[in-house]
Amino acid sequence: MADYELILFKNMAKTGYDGSLKAYQQEGGYAALKRVLSDFSPADVIDEVKKSGLRGRGGAGFPAGLKWSFIPKDYKGPRYLCCNADESEPGTYKDRQLMERDPHQMLEGMAICCYAIGAQKAYIYIRGEFDLGAEILNDAIDEACTAKVLGKDIFGSGFNLEIVVHRGAGAYICGEETALLESIEGKRGKPRIKPPFPAIHGLYQEPTVINNVETLANIPHIINKGASWFAGIGTEKSTGTKIYSVSGHVKRPGNFEAPMGVTLREIIYDFAGGIKGDKQLKAVIPGGASAPFMTPEQIDTPMDFDSIKAIGSMLGSAAITVMDETTCIVWAAMNLMEFFHHESCGQCTPCREGSAWILQILRRIENGLGEETDLALLEELCGRIGGNTVCAFGDAEIGPILSTIKHFRAEYENHIREKCCPLRPKARLAMAH
Amino acid sequence: MSFASESTLGDGPLKTMSELVTFKVNDIEVSAPKGMLLIEAVKKAGVEIPHFCYHPRLKPDANCRMCLVEIEKMPKLQTACTMPVAEGMVVQTTSDSVVASQNGVMEYLLGNHPLDCPECDQGGECQLQDFGHQHSKLGSRFLEQKRVFPKEYFGPLVEKEMNRCVSCLRCVRYCDEVMGVTALGSFDRGNGTQIGTFAHGELDCEYCGGCIQICPVGALTSRLSMYENRTWQLKKTDTICNYCGDGCSLILEGVKDDITRVSSETGAGRNRGDLCARGFFGYGAINHKDRLSRPRLNTKGRTLEVTWDWAFNKAAEDLKKIVAQHGPDAVGGVISTHCSNEEAYLFQKLMREVIGTPHVDSTARYGYINALSALNEVFGTARLSHYEDIRSADVLLVVGADMAESNPIAGIQVKDAVRAGAQLITLDASSPERDTYYSHLPSLATQHLNIRFGTEQSAIIGLVKALFDKGIASSAPRKLVNQIKKKVAVISFAEIEATTGLTENSYRRAAQTYAGAEHAVMIVGRGVIQSEGGYQNMLRLEELSILAGQVGREGAGILPLASENNAFGVVESGASSEYLPGLKRQEAKPKALTLLEMIDAAAEGKLKALYLVGADPLRNLPQKKVADALSNLDLLICQDLFPTETNAHAHILLPAASFAEKSGHYTNHEGVVQKGHQAIEPVGGAKPDWMIFSILSNKIKEETTLPYFKLVGYRSADEVWKEAVMAMPNDWQQNSKEAISRHVAAYAEHAEIQYALQTPRASNGVMDLQLGQNRYHAGTTSRYAEGLNRLLDCECVVIHPDDAEALQLEEGERVRLSSHLSGASVELPIQLSQKQGRGALFVPEHFGLSVKGLLPLTIDRESKVPYGDRGPVKLSKVAASTQVKG
Ligand SMILES: Cc1cc2nc3c(=O)[nH]c(=O)nc-3n(C[C@H](O)[C@H](O)[C@H](O)COP(=O)(O)O)c2cc1C
Ligand code: SF4
Ligand code: SF4
Ligand code: SF4
Ligand code: FES
């Protein structure tokens, strides 16, 4: 296994590292914040982050420095930072580890960001199920405030920052940045129409930046070691390292930190130890439930935003789900659709009605009740959702369906022709009740 | 870019969008104001974009995705309901991709729809039917099981059929954005999304009906007209609501002579299409079975139903006999403020010219006359501000009004203004908390001047005094300023605080905000107009507005709230002891008697005949006194819709037509004159009031030779109207800044201003009781509306939960109210409300008579208005054994 330099996991990889303020400071923690507060103007920070090439780790890969620069400079009212820690995309579990094992790394990143955008209040919107994470963060914030590295008059600079941990209530859609804002405001978590964008009208209609946990955790390192150091890692347009959450039919599932641009093959066969039982690889989802499926032929593609996009999928959160030869693709698509159907907020007609209809068709096919016309209908129903909804959930939910029909059409046809699932022939009985 | 309120109706940002841009839609070139939403702008090219969630009254929500269109240079289809039109835009609404998307959304929406159109009350006016017809392909490929929600009754008046819902959230948004009630929400997620109230309970709200009206499909419909008709069979008539003074346009819909529902048109009328419970659900009184239908004579304890001819002859004969015996001054008449301008005009003409008596008055004497005459006295007009001014004001001062109850639509103008950023100052004794599903203006106020019960008069002094700090406008006449300054100087803020409970600071802040506004509108309610000292207190408020420079100029002014729809118009048409048509003061000889004085004169035997049109003094004045006076009369003619306590005493009882059965003009509290049209033929054998006056006048003058002979005998209300307008001054509906300042200057010369601080009342175990309006009722006619009775059908005592807890009382429990003066008592159930002031009680005035008897009556020295809605009472728990179950 190749030996890559760890950035985000570096501290926690050390034996005995407990993530406390003391431990974090022993590793040089909060030096970046201190330096920024004494030597950097907010514009300097934004410049440095821009130069580093850091792109958002929440899924869309939007350049972080550019996003921060959209906050109106001369705006008089409050501004906010929201750290997106909702991490609900099936297969993704990297933020959890970052928060639980090294909370100050992310808090320091948040503080630097707040300084850069002029925010004095920040929220961490944390997935409701993360009890431990919320507790750890709250303790870490208390600890940091007591030590005056967060809170009032940080490092005597006059800069104040209050960080609030806000726990979600179990809806995947609240990870979508505008639904997240609604949820913090105490409303039903449902995405807003854009424009206006959060940088202008965000939380409580004030200018707001929303960044993923991993994005923010990178910030102190960029400040400490410099933008060009960071830009030298990974590929030209996807800089730095990425945490890959690997799950499914692999021998060693887990989070692996490696530079952007390593291949899927290296991740699956090297980091994760290959397919369980040494079976054949059948399909891979490279970036969380919303990323289109990839085939074994495509696993030499470098894992960076542009290369994965070029072959018709997306890097997303880089949560890699590996499926071996025993997996029924129709069942897998149906399983994902169960998730999307359950999680659609229900405001857009195509997503609300489409997710339910598509799921019903998939269930029929998987259970041997498919019709010849179903595949064309599925493609059309998906086509009506893509690009036509308020939020990107609509595009996400059709990814698995369209890609499996594209790459595994024969398997769908087989289900319909044979009137049963070749890999799970008993499924129909199960549905009969 | 923000879309906030860009599409809301009326005078919002659209007014300022004067810059035009040219764009192309389906190859047609048109221009539209820059920034106008595409969905509106394309209408200029005759293009309609199908839509469900878009509604001009609401902010865009872009959830239905039906309005997607193609715009050149944009990568994806765009929602026309959120897209502002821009110069050079090229739009396609019928291209293949747009049509495919429209077909797609329709197929999605219809997939789970029950297609129960034959039994749906929305059929014929359903957007799903209409757009489905235009934008669906034949046949559906949806072969799956349909999703089924159980049908529900959503409270007593709304039917909820979620299988028909298209999830456009128009209902929820209306309730949030327009009503500010927030009773509705969407529940569950995805394909299971449905509309409900929090905690999935029954609907419990202001029942404005807005959600029913704005629902594009049959998902929310009215239970009052459930399964009654197909919509296209209904005849629609535009008219003006007959309940409160807001002046709402509404559409009566019915078949033959039966009104089966009410609707309104988005954007139309003073109400811009919004209605309240009374307007939307209150039509049941029109066709009520208890309506009087035949003229009746009561002689010597016997009741005879007679023909109209007989009744007219008898009335004319009896009146003439009394005039012959006792002179015309022995006759008096009072008309209701629900009658039309034509009727008020004709009534005063009948009294003054045909009979020749000066004694004519209206039920505006119960309070509204205070506002009209105090405004007229100072400004020479009572038309000082409009709803448009409220919506564009930056400061609103609402004094002594609970607008969500008394004048909900005027209240919506205030809510709109607050949403647009106006500061709201409220002054009353209510608590600023609101009940969960009801709006309450003080809860939106930036400053709520939470005075002690009944101390409006003293609080006004506080505001005036605080103004002298730095708020005096240069436009205020010096003489007035000096006089007032001297008068308020002798009263200290400490004294004012001792009475009202409000500190000097609160007054200063409010006075500064009010005077510092660019455009402030003062809204005055019953707490001033119809409460002790009403006339003088109104003058004091007017002086406040003059000192602050917030009257008599564009955008600033005063709005006196009326509880009855035509209080303004009836007085202005001349049915008032002090005014001839056009608010011209009359100096009659002998002096014209007011309503109350007529009762006194009857008791003394000086007044022999009384003609009451829709007036019910037995309800409003001390019963024993009125009953004695009425029985002392030789002739009592009553003209009413329903039997009342008063008209039970009538010698001649004439059945009158309701507003739905006649046409006529009504003037709302803004002074806006609007025409209502006749929807149905008079119910039973009733006749419109104007017709009755016309015929009766003819009968009386048949043997006289008076010169107005040829003027009576009108064929239509329009004919009366033409004449009534001639009797008005030329510019009666206008007012000019110059005329107003001339009047103010003249007033400043002769005004003798007195400030009287009330004495603080010691709370010796008694509570303060206020009678007033409930949001579901107006006057007493609404008691006949089945719909409204389902919301509230009996008297109750409203009390703050803290007071109830202290007295160990629970919601619905019966209590005894008693007068500590007379010892009389009444038992009523209690109702808890957060907005009720602590230590104070409220009883809706629409039902029983007995509570009134607990309260003292005082009479305004100048305006002769009887005040009997407030006073101290004792409240006690009713012992468990005497509790009535049910
Ligand atoms: C349906 C949906 C779910 C999302 N869930 C998450 C999430 O759980 N965590 C996250 O960081 N971003 C999530 N995102 C992406 C956010 O909307 C947003 O792009 C991101 O938080 C921005 O941060 P970044 O620029 O640092 O990546 C989601 C997006 C969509 C459309
Ligand atoms: S696309 Fe789906 S999840 Fe996103 S806003 Fe629309 S209905 Fe909600
Ligand atoms: S107040 Fe009641 S009737 Fe009016 S919109 Fe809200 S829920 Fe509907
Ligand atoms: S009930 Fe009517 S208005 Fe409300 S969401 Fe459903 S269709 Fe829209
Ligand atoms: S009308 Fe535009 S999305 Fe519904």
pLDDT in tens, A91-150: 999 999 999 999 999 999 999 999 999 999 999 999 999 999 999 999 999 999 999 999
| Nearest atom (ligand 2) to Cα of A385 | 1
| Mean residue pLDDT across chain B | 93
Distance between CA B488 and CA B498 in Å, rounded? 16
Q: Are residues B413 and B550 in the same domain?
A: yes
CB under 8 Å to A123, separation ≥6 — which residues?
A80, A81, A82, A83, A163, A164, A165, A166, A184, A203
B190–A389 CB contact, under 8 Å: no
Q: Using CA atoms in the order A239, A241, A243, A244, what is the torsion angle rounded to 10 degrees?
A: 70
B403 lies in the same domain as B493: yes
Look at residue A320 and tell me whether its pLDDT is greater than 50. yes
- Cβ-proximal residues to A119 (8 Å cutoff; 6+ apart), any chain: A78, A79, A80, A81, A113, A161, A209
B690 with B798, same domain?
Answer: no
Rounded-to-integer distance, Cα B131 and Cα B141, Å: 19
Q: Give yes or no: residues B50 and B154 share one domain.
A: no
DSSP annotation string for B409-444: HHHHHHHHHHHTT-EEEEEESS-S---TTS--GGGG
Q: What gap in Å lies between CA B874 and CA A291, rounded to an integer?
A: 72
State the distance from the centre of ligand 3 to the C-alpha of B219, rounded, in angstroms: 14
Residue A195: which of B1, B64, B193 has the nearest Cβ? B1
Residue B432: Cβ within 10 Å count: 18
- The β-bridge partners of B239 are B250
Number of domains in chain B: 5
Residues near ligand 1 (Cβ within 6 A): A 56-60, 62, 84, 86-89, 173, 175-177, 210-212, 215, 391-393, 396
Is residue B688 located within the same domain as residue B779? no
The domain that holds B390 is classified in CATH as 3.40.228.10
* HEC readout, B837-868: CCCEEEEECCCCCHHHHHCCCEECCCCCCEEC
Residues of B in contact with A387 (CB under 8 A): 76-77
Alpha-helical regions (H) of A19-73: 21-26, 31-39, 42-52, 64-69
Closest Cβ opposite residue A193 in set B82, B105, B167: B82
Q: Is residue B357 domain-shared with residue B391, that is, in the same domain?
A: no
Q: Is residue A173 within 6 Å of ligand 2 at its C-beta?
A: yes
Last residue of a domain, one of B285, B320, B338: B285
Structural domain boundaries enclosing B253: 117-128+142-285
Instruction: Tell me what pLDDT residue A225 has.
Output: 97
Same domain, B302 and B280: no
Contacts of A349 in chain B (CB under 8 A): 63-66, 105, 108-109, 166-167
Of residues B52, B101, B46, B106, the one with CA closest to residue B78: B101
- Rounded-to-integer distance, Cα B104 and Cα A356, Å: 14
Judged against a pLDDT cut of 60, whether residue A299 lies above it is answered with yes
B539 is a domain residue: yes
The angle subtended at Cα A134 by Cα A130 and Cα A139, nearest 5°, is: 150
Q: How far apart are CA A143 and CA A159, in angstroms?
A: 18
pLDDT band at A398 (very low <50, low <70, confident <90, very high): very high
- Are residues B874 and B836 part of one domain? yes
Distance, in Å, from the CA atom of B164 to the CA atom of B119, rounded to the nearest integer, reads 12
Distance of alpha carbon B431 from alpha carbon B835, whole angstroms: 5
Contacts of A380 in chain B (CB under 8 A): 104
Model-level ipTM above the cut of 0.90: yes
* Number of CB atoms found within 10 A of residue B9's CB: 18
Query: Could you tell me if residue B543 is inside a domain?
Result: yes
For the record, the structure tokens of A54 come out as 């850091």
**Could you tell me which of B16, B8, B63 has the C-alpha nearest to residue B40?**
B8
- How far apart, in Å, are the Cα atoms of A235 and each of A231, A263, A293, B479? 8, 12, 23, 83
Pick the CATH number of A10-231 from 3.40.50.1000, 3.40.50.11540, 3.50.30.10, 2.60.40.10: 3.40.50.11540
Q: Are B426 and B319 part of one and the same domain?
A: no
Q: Please give the angle made by the CA atoms of A14, A15 and A20, to the nearest 5 degrees.
A: 75
Domain containing residue B702: CATH number = 3.40.50.740
In this structure, what token pair is assigned to residue B162? 């979620």
Q: CA–CA separation, A164 vs B79, rounded Å? A: 36
Amino acid A101 reads: R
3-class DSSP state of B823: coil
Which residues of chain A lie closer than 8 angstroms to B77, CB-CB?
A: 387-388
**Which residue, B650, B617, B766, is CA-closest to B296?**
B650
- Cβ atoms within 10 Å of B187's Cβ, excluding its own: 17
Q: Which residue of B has its CA nearest to A374?
A: B141
Measured CA to CA, the distance from residue B54 to residue B359 in angstroms comes to 56
Distance CA A351, CA A388 (A): 9
Which of B707, B674, B755 is closest to B271 using CA atoms? B674
Same domain (yes/no): B150, B278:
yes
Mind listing the pLDDT tens digit for each residue in A232-258?
Answer: 999 999 999 999 999 999 999 999 999
B450 forms bridges with which residues in the sheet? B428
CATH number at residue B807: 2.40.40.20
Domain ranges of chain A: 10-231, 244-324, 329-431
Which positions in chain B touch A355 (Cβ < 8 Å)? 190-191
Q: Which of B884, B882, B813, B818 shows the shortest CA–CA distance to B851?
A: B818
Q: What's residue B821's pLDDT?
A: 77
Residue B798 distance to chain A (closest CA, Å)? 31
Question: Do B657 and B684 reside in the same domain of the chain?
Answer: yes
Residues B500, B624 within the same domain: no
pLDDT at B11: 41
Instruction: Tell me what pLDDT residue B1 has.
Output: 28
In a domain, B691, yes or no: yes
* Distance in Å, CA A185 to ligand 3 centroid: 23
Q: Measured between alpha carbons, how far is B222 from B550 in angstroms, rounded to an integer?
A: 43
Q: What is the structure's pLDDT at B4? A: 32
Answer for the pair B786, B417: CB distance below 8 angstroms, yes or no: no
8 Å CB contact of A346 and B186: yes
Which residues from B are below 8 Å from A364, CB to CB? 144
Helix axes B456-467, B493-500, angle to 10 degrees: 150
User: Which runs of consecutive H residues, i.e. helices, occur in B712-785?
Assistant: 717-727, 737-750
- The whole-angstrom distance between A22's CA and the closest CA on chain B is 44
In whole angstroms, give the CA distance from residue B665 to residue B671: 12
As a whole number of angstroms, the distance between CA B90 and CA A399 comes to 31
Report the CATH fold assignment for A329-431.
Answer: de novo design (two linked rop proteins) (1.20.1440)
Radius of gyration of chain A, Cα coordinates, nearest whole angstrom: 22
pLDDT classification of A433: cutoffs 50, 70, 90: very low
Q: Is residue B564 part of a domain?
A: no
pLDDT of residue B712: 53
Cα-trace Rg, chain B: 29
Low-confidence ranges of chain B (pLDDT < 50): 1-15, 705-711, 883-886
Give me the pLDDT at residue B17, please: 52
Counting ligands in written order, the one closest to the CA of B157 is 3
Q: Which residue of A has its CA nearest to B191?
A: A352
> What strand order describes the sheet that includes B520-524?
B447-450, B423-428, B395-399, B520-524, B557-560
How far apart CA B650 and CA B611 sit, in angstroms, is: 9
Q: Which atom of ligand 4 is nearest to the CA of B174?
A: 3
pLDDT at B7: 37
**pLDDT confidence of residue A430:** 52
Domain end (from B258, B285, B312): B285
- Tell me if B104 is assigned to some domain: no
In a domain, B740, yes or no: no
* Interval A141-170 mean pLDDT: 96
The C-alpha atoms of residue B813 and residue B85 are separated, in whole angstroms, by: 59
A vs B, Cβ pairs < 8 A, gives: 102
A244-324: what fold? Ubiquitin-like (UB roll) (3.10.20)
Residue-level length of chain B: 886
**Does B184 contact ligand 4 (Cβ within 6 A)?**
no
* DSSP H or E run through A265: helix A264-265
**In 3D, which of B876, B574, B499, B850 has the Cα closest to residue B727?**
B574
What is this structure's pTM? 0.95
Chain A interface residues (partner B, CB cutoff 8 A): 171, 188, 193, 195-196, 200-201, 341-357, 360-361, 364, 371, 373, 377, 380, 384, 387-390
**Inter-chain CB proximity B1 and A196 less than 8 Å:** yes
d(CA B64, CA B168) in angstroms, rounded, equals 6
Closest CA to B659 of B315, B279, B273, B206: B279
Last residue of a domain, which of B703, B727, B751?
Answer: B727
CB-based contact A347 B63, cutoff 8 Å:
yes
